[in-house]
Homo-oligomer: A and B are copies of this chain.
C-alpha cells in the first residue's frame, strides 16, 4: 500500500525522524538521461526554510541515488534513492509521545497499528512526499520528451483568491513570488495573509490549481481508472488535501447540459473544442485540450496555540507546542501536486503504448 502507479511505479519508505526518506522507482524506461539539477531544483521548491512564509527548519534534502542509473542514464532496472534526514530535533517530540494531537494522525495510527513513531509524525509527516518529488522529477523528464508539461500554482489562500482563470495568467512566472501565485497583486495579499496567520500562531488553507498541457487525445482508461480518477486519487493522497475537482468541477453543477457541453470544432491543428468545461477529459480519456484541476488543502493542524486533547491513557491534557512549523503548506505543496500529476501522466503515457500491437 506504499506503491503508486501501475507501469511507472513508486514505492516509498521513511519516517520524519528516522534515517531518511526514500523510495524505489520501478518500471522507468531505460536510457533516460537523469538531470540531477532538475531533480534537486524540485526538492528545493519543496524544502523547508526556503522563504519567510515556510517553516524555518533547515533541511538540505539532497537526493542520493542507490541504483538504476549508469553513466548518468537510467538502466531500466529499479532506481533506489534516499534523502537522509538531517535537521531532526527528536527531543522536541518527547512531550508529545503519549498525546493525540488534534486533527493529526496520532490517534488513528495508534488504533490501526498499536504502535507509532511519535517523533515529528513519523510516517504521517509530509516529509514522506520528498520521495514523490524525486520520482515526479524523473517522470517530468519523460513527459517532457512526450511534449507534456505540468504546472501548478496557488489560486487561493484562506479567503484571498485570484479571480483570473489560468488562461489569463502567465504560468511561466509562478516561481517569481515566494507564494507561487502568478497573479502578482493577489500574491502579495496571500503572503500578507500567511504572515498574519503565522503571527497569530495559527494556520491557513487554500487551493492549488494545476494545468497540464500537451497531452494528446487518447490517454486514460474508460472505467475505474479514468484519467481524472487517477489524478484525483493522486491528489487526495497528498497530506492535508480535502477536495479535488477538474474542469467545471463543483460549479459545473449549476449549468444546464446545453451550457456545459463542449462543441467540437475544426482548427488548423485538428479537432478541438470551443469551450473546455470537460477539463480536457471525456469519458475518462484525454481529448487533446488542456487538462486542469483544483485541489483543496485544509489549514495545517499544527498550531502554536493551546489546545485541549487526550493522551493514550484517555486523560485530558493541554498541549501548547512550540517549534518551527508551516503557517500554510501551499507554497511547498505546489511541487508535490506537480510531482503526483507527473507520475499519473507518465503512467498513462506508458499505458498508451499498449493500445495497439
Contact = CB atoms under 8 A, between A and B. Distances in A.
A334 B124 CA distance: 33
A282 interface: yes
Given A146-B357, A202-B256, A30 B223 contact: no
Contacts of A192: none
B11 A11 contact: yes
B100 A264 contact: yes
29 contacts: A1-B224, A12-B223, A14-B80, A29-B356, A29-B357, A30-B356, A66-B82, A77-B117, A104-B283, A108-B218, A108-B282, A108-B283, A109-B222, A111-B288, A112-B352, A114-B355, A123-B222, A123-B223, A124-B283, A158-B253, A225-B237, A229-B237, A233-B236, A242-B248, A243-B250, A244-B245, A249-B296, A252-B298, A257-B302
B242 A233 contact: no
Nearest to A105: B283
Nearest to A273: B102
Nearest to A161: B253
A236 B226 contact: yes
A87 to B, nearest CB: 17
Interface stretch (A46-54, A163-171, A177-185, A306-314): A306-314
Residue of A73, A259, A285 with highest tally of chain B CB at under 10 A: A285
A142 interface: yes
Interface stretch (A36-44, A55-63, A203-211): A203-211
A314 B316 CA distance: 57
A14 B67 contact: yes
A257 B70 contact: no
Contacts of A220: 108, 112
A200 B258 CA distance: 10
B22 A309 contact: no
A122 interface: yes
